């Protein structure tokens, strides 16, 4: 007897503002989200701001060398503390000059000593769970969240194996890609290669060997692993060093819900990270990395090629899907679930949509 067909998510999961609002309050605030890279806060007092789940946040390097993240709000009367990025000796609120140590404790404020019973030791900026993952900074607004290694079992070790130099890498550039679609449309498109041969000729013939492509979820975690061999060296769209460990392989690790590490053939590291702005708009950043962030003609050319081919092709796909999801003629069809998995199967989409249902429907 055949198993029942598994249908794709109903359109409301992508187009209903109420569902997006629920994700913002729940899913985005209770999952590990990418903040930035350690090289942005290399020295004492270095900081940068970012936004997660509608909250303004900032990371800062303390005098003890510890990297901390805080909500970007003064505990006095709620003015935002810092903007952009920079370096500071202390954090000073622009509104009334309440001053905080780099570790978050209130240091001083005009005339606070005149207030009977005022105890500045009881006032501190609100901290946020922060982890550094091979130089990449992640935060979680849930104080009780499990560590990243529990969420993404084995990824830290496997990345270190496939990119032995990863702890020396820094961003060469981040390519910003606005997309007029719900963030889940973009993530799903990235998380299957059923569409690759038809829509990504450069990637499918000049980077990967499609017949070896597979995507599998990791047991007990929130990871999708993409695995494949690279194309024949004579067909590769960029020169690779095949002598490095795993030089002829491609690996990708999607970390639910909005980040992915890709290891291109030749140990070339690149990343995706998503930011959801509203129910109909998101931005994707494509990151490219080199040791110390030193310029590389090969990586620059690869980034340009990727933006002009795969990325541009994906923008057209996801924005068309976003329009189609609003059609009254759309009826969610069955996913293509090949028991043998492989390139032309949507097992990864089934897993993603399971995670969405768990997050939205409980």
> Which CATH number covers residue 136?
2.102.10.10
- Pair (105, 152) in one structural domain: no
What lies within 8 Å, CB to CB, of 236 at 6+ separation is: 206, 207, 230, 265
- Pair (153, 126) in one structural domain: no
**In 10 A of CB 313, how many CB atoms?**
19
* Residue 3 covered by a domain: no
Helix, strand or coil, per DSSP, at residue 169: strand
pLDDT at 339: 87
- Pair (58, 93) in one structural domain: yes
272: which strand partners? 260, 286
100: which strand partners? 91, 106
Helix, strand or coil, per DSSP, at residue 13: helix
- Pair (225, 352) in one structural domain: yes
- CB-hemisphere CA count at 13 Å for 77? 5
Does the pTM exceed 0.85?
A: yes
Determine the Cα–Cα distance for residues 24 and 174; give it in Å rounded to an integer: 24
Q: Give, in order, the Cα–Cα distances in Å from 164 to each of 40, 133, 159, 172, 273.
A: 22, 14, 8, 18, 22
- Pair (75, 209) in one structural domain: no
pLDDT at 296: 94
pLDDT tens by residue, 91-122? 999 999 999 999 999 999 999 999 999 999 99
- Pair (83, 186) in one structural domain: no
* Residue 62 covered by a domain: yes
- Pair (181, 108) in one structural domain: no
Report helix angle 347-361 to 183-190, nearest 10: 150
Domain closes at, from 118, 140, 162? 140
* Per-residue confidence in pLDDT tens, the chain, 362 aa: 567 899 999 999 999 999 999 999 999 999 999 999 999 999 999 999 999 999 999 999 999 999 999 999 999 999 999 999 999 999 999 999 999 999 999 999 999 999 999 999 999 999 999 999 999 999 999 999 999 999 999 999 999 999 999 999 999 999 999 999 999 999 999 998 877 777 787 777 767 677 788 889 988 899 999 888 776 666 767 777 777 777 778 889 999 999 999 998 888 899 999 999 999 999 999 999 999 999 999 899 989 989 999 899 999 999 999 999 999 999 999 999 988 888 888 999 999 999 999 999 97
Quote the DSSP letter at residue 193: -
Domain closes at, from 84, 118, 140? 140
- Number of structural domains found in the chain: 2
Domain closes at, from 90, 109, 140? 140
> Which CATH number covers residue 237?
3.90.380.10
Q: For the chain, percent helix, then strand, then coil, each to nearest 5? A: 30, 30, 40
- Pair (294, 153) in one structural domain: yes
Could you tell me whether strands 85-87 and 136-140 are parallel, antiparallel, or unpaired per DSSP bridges?
A: unpaired
Residue located via tokens 């897993």? 351
- Pair (259, 355) in one structural domain: yes
- Pair (43, 97) in one structural domain: yes
* Residue 54 covered by a domain: yes
- CA-CA-CA-CA dihedral for 116, 121, 124, 127, to nearest 10: -150
* Residue 128 covered by a domain: yes
**In 10 A of CB 343, how many CB atoms?**
21
End-to-end CA distance of the chain: 31
The pair of three-digit structure tokens given for residue 271, joined into one six-digit string:
């990343």
- CA-CA-CA-CA dihedral for 292, 296, 302, 303, to nearest 10: 60
- Pair (130, 246) in one structural domain: no
Range of the domain at 127: 33-140
The pair of three-digit structure tokens given for residue 57, joined into one six-digit string:
């946040």
Determine the Cα–Cα distance for residues 81 and 209; give it in Å rounded to an integer: 50
pLDDT tens by residue, 278-324? 999 999 999 999 999 999 998 999 899 899 998 999 999 999 999 99
What are phi and psi for residue 44, nearest 5 degrees? -55, 130
- Pair (179, 294) in one structural domain: yes
* Residue 27 covered by a domain: no
| Inter-residue contact 15 to 279 (CB < 8 Å) | yes
The pair of three-digit structure tokens given for residue 326, joined into one six-digit string:
């609003």
């Amino acid at each position: 007897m055949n198993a029942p067909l598994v249908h794709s998510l109903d359109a409301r999961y992508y187009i209903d503002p109420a569902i997006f609002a629920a994700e913002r309050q729940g899913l985005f605030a209770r999952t590990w989200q990418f903040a930035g890279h350690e090289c942005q806060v290399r020295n004492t007092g270095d900081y940068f701001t970012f936004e997660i789940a509608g909250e303004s946040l900032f990371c800062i390097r303390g005098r003890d060398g510890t990297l901390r993240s805080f909500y970007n709000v003064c505990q006095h009367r709620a003015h935002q503390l810092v903007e952009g990025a920079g370096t500071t000796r202390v954090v000073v609120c622009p509104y009334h000059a309440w001053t905080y140590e780099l570790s978050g404790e209130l240091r001083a404020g005009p005339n606070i000593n005149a207030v009977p019973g005022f105890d500045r030791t009881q006032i501190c900026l609100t901290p946020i769970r922060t982890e550094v993952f091979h130089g990449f900074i992640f935060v979680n607004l849930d104080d009780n969240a499990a560590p990243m290694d529990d969420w993404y079992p084995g990824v830290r070790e496997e990345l270190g194996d496939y990119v032995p130099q990863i702890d020396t890498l820094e961003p060469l550039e981040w390519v910003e890609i606005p997309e007029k679609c719900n963030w889940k449309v973009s993530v799903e498109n990235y998380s299957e290669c059923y569409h690759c041969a038809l829509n990504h000729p450069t990637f499918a013939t000049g980077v990967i060997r499609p017949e070896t492509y597979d995507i599998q979820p990791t047991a007990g975690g929130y990871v999708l692993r993409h695995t494949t061999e690279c194309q024949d060296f004579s067909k590769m769209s960029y020169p690779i060093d095949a002598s490095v460990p795993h030089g002829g392989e491609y690996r990708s690790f999607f970390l639910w819900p909005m980040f992915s590490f890709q290891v291109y053939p030749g140990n070339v590291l690149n990343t995706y990270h998503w930011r959801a702005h509203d129910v109909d708009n998101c931005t994707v950043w494509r990151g490219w990395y080199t040791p110390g962030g030193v310029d590389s003609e090969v990586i620059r050319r690869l980034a340009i090629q990727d933006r002009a081919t795969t990325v541009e092709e994906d923008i057209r796909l996801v924005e068309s899907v976003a329009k189609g999801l609003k059609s009254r003629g759309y009826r969610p069809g069955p996913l293509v679930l090949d028991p043998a998995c492989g390139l032309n199967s949507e097992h990864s989409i089934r897993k993603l949509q399971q995670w969405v249902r768990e997050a939205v429907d409980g």
